[in-house]
Amino acid sequence: MASSKKAQSVSPLAPLGIEAAMKAKEDPNSVVRPKIFDEFALTDRVGLVSGGNRGLGLEMAIALAEAGAQVVYCFDLSKEPSEEFKASREYVSKLGNGSRLEYFCADVRNQELLWKKAEEIGDKEQRFDFCIAAAGILKPHVECLEYPGHEFRDVMEVNTTGVLFTAQAAGRQMARFGRGGSIILIASMSGSITNRDHAWVSYNTSKSAVLQMARSMACELGEQRIRVNTLSPGYIYTQMTTAYLDKEPHLFDKWSGMNPLGRLGRPDEMRGVATWLASDASSFLF
């Protein structure tokens, strides 16, 4: 006997998959077309990316624009956007889908400023749909018993406290507009495992805290259809890791060998998963 209970949730793109196939069978004249790319589309959506002046943050911002986001607001410490950002902004303007990148200067440690900036974005765009908290720093390795207090605090304030403030700023606007949304916190494999030779007590601790932060926020914000997830990349060859490897070049081969593929990751390899998490294709992932 068929259940009389109604589905608790329905995709805005329904019917999909099997349901679409069954409806097509009932109506031979119906038009059949693939919808999987529609599920990944970010058409008309608005969001925020911290650490978006270069590196992983900017790489993911471009991907979101390519997926159709109306505007991706990127912010970083630099008062002026980098040459990479300027080139990326021009590139996005030529996509032909109406997407754009915007830049503003902000410090992730300034909670009041981030809340204010996010509110200004909400006022202007009248929606807020996604957030990627990608800003982070990496300090030189120091033995844990000798680690300076000021350096530990610096890493924790940017990599953990700054992530919270960024997520708060975006989440407040998502709650304000009542459309739900997706918050993506960039953690690291170092939050789950420890490289014995380079433990990075501050970095590992900060990223472990981000993982737990996401779990707590996901539970609290889920009722408002605001999803919170983390990405924990392995070693990615970015400007930040390049600067570190320049000082300890012997680690290049060592880090590459720790990966089953035998190489470091590319920044562009984060594009797909970031777009997936920001889109409706991951609507039950939290």
Q: Is residue 186 part of a domain?
A: yes
- Write out the residue range of the structural domain in which residue 144 sits: 38-236+270-282
Q: Which residue has the tokens 């720093």?
A: 137
CATH number at residue 79: 3.40.50.720
Can you give the pTM of this predicted structure?
A: 0.92
Q: Is residue 142 part of a domain?
A: yes
Q: Is residue 262 part of a domain?
A: no
Positions of E strands within 35-190: 46-50, 71-76, 100-105, 130-133, 181-186
Q: Is residue 55 part of a domain?
A: yes
Backbone angles phi, psi at 255, to 5 degrees: -65, -40
Confidence of residue 275 (pLDDT cuts 50, 70, 90): very high
With contact defined as beta carbons under 8 Å apart, do 243 and 254 qualify?
A: no
Q: Is residue 137 part of a domain?
A: yes
What is the reported pLDDT for 1?
Answer: 47
Q: Which of residues 233 and 163 earns the better pLDDT score? A: 163
Q: Is residue 113 part of a domain?
A: yes
Q: Is residue 69 part of a domain?
A: yes
Give the pLDDT mean for 10-26: 92
Domains identified in the chain, total number:
1
Q: Is residue 228 part of a domain?
A: yes
Least confident range from 47-61, 166-180, 198-212: namely: 198-212
Res. 199: pLDDT tops 60: no
Catalytic positions, please?
188, 203, 207
The token duo for 142 is: 């120091």
Give the model confidence (pLDDT) of 39-96 as tens digits.
Answer: 999 999 999 999 999 999 999 999 999 999 999 999 999 999 999 999 999 999 999 9
With contact defined as beta carbons under 8 Å apart, do 112 and 79 qualify?
A: no
